[in-house]
């Protein structure tokens, strides 16, 4: 019994000596550099127009856009009512623009301000946007035309924007 007690005491003293040792120094690794702020961006409506390129030639024609807007509207207007309320439009924007609050907003699309979006109103808004993106006025919108160069953006810092 004394031998067992002596063995336990020896183990405890060895463990005590080990815990008294200082732990190895922790070397701090520098944080990874933040991803640079994007300088080339595309608006959600521009991405939609680019995605309407049916023949995959990298160019969206007015005819391709018109057919695409018609198909996208019909996909949300499942009851074939011929118009969408603002919530229905938000569903359309989520599906086709990526976010319910993406521009163009329903307030801008609803030309007659009756709180309903019709296919004609949506077509008119995308015709206006097509004209804006078609910088060289050749009747087609290319991928290069839908991109915007942004300069002077502040770098992203932990999700917080710096005040000027």
**Global pTM?**
0.70
Do the domain assignments include residue 137? yes
Q: How many domains does the chain have?
A: 1
Q: Name the packing angle between helices 44-51 and 86-97 (round to 10°).
A: 70
Residue 59 domain flag: yes
Reference 69, options 112, 119, 103, 107; nearest CA is 119
CA angle 118, 121, 123 (to 5 degrees): 110
66 domain-assigned: yes
Furthest-apart CA atoms within the chain: distance in Å: 100
Residue 136 and residue 146 in contact, taking contact as beta carbons nearer than 8 Å = no
Residue 114's domain is classified under what CATH number?
1.10.238
Could you list the residue range(s) of the whole structural domain that residue 58 is in?
40-149
Q: Which residues pair with 157 in a beta bridge?
A: 160
117 belongs to a structural domain: yes
- Splitting the chain (164 residues) into consecutive groups of 10 residues, what average pLDDT does each group show? 51 50 72 81 95 97 98 96 97 97 96 97 98 97 91 58 56
Q: 84-100 burial, b if ≥16 CB within 10 A, otherwise e? A: beeebbbbbbeebbeee
């Amino acid at each position: 019994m004394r031998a067992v007690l002596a063995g336990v005491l020896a183990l405890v003293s060895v463990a005590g000596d080990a815990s008294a040792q200082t732990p190895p120094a922790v070397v701090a690794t520098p944080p990874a550099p933040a991803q640079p702020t994007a300088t080339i961006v595309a608006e959600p409506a521009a991405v939609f127009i680019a995605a309407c390129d049916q023949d995959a030639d990298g160019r969206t024609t007015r005819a391709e856009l018109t057919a695409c807007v018609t198909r996208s509207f019909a996909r949300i207007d499942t009851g074939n009512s011929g118009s969408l309320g603002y919530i229905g439009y938000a569903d359309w924007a989520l599906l086709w623009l990526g976010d319910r609050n993406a521009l163009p907003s329903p307030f801008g699309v609803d030309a007659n301000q009756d709180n309903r979006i019709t296919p004609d109103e949506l077509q008119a808004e995308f015709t206006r946007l097509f004209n804006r993106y078609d910088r060289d006025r050749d009747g087609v919108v290319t991928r290069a035309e839908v991109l915007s160069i942004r300069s002077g953006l502040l770098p992203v810092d932990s999700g917080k924007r710096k005040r000027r």
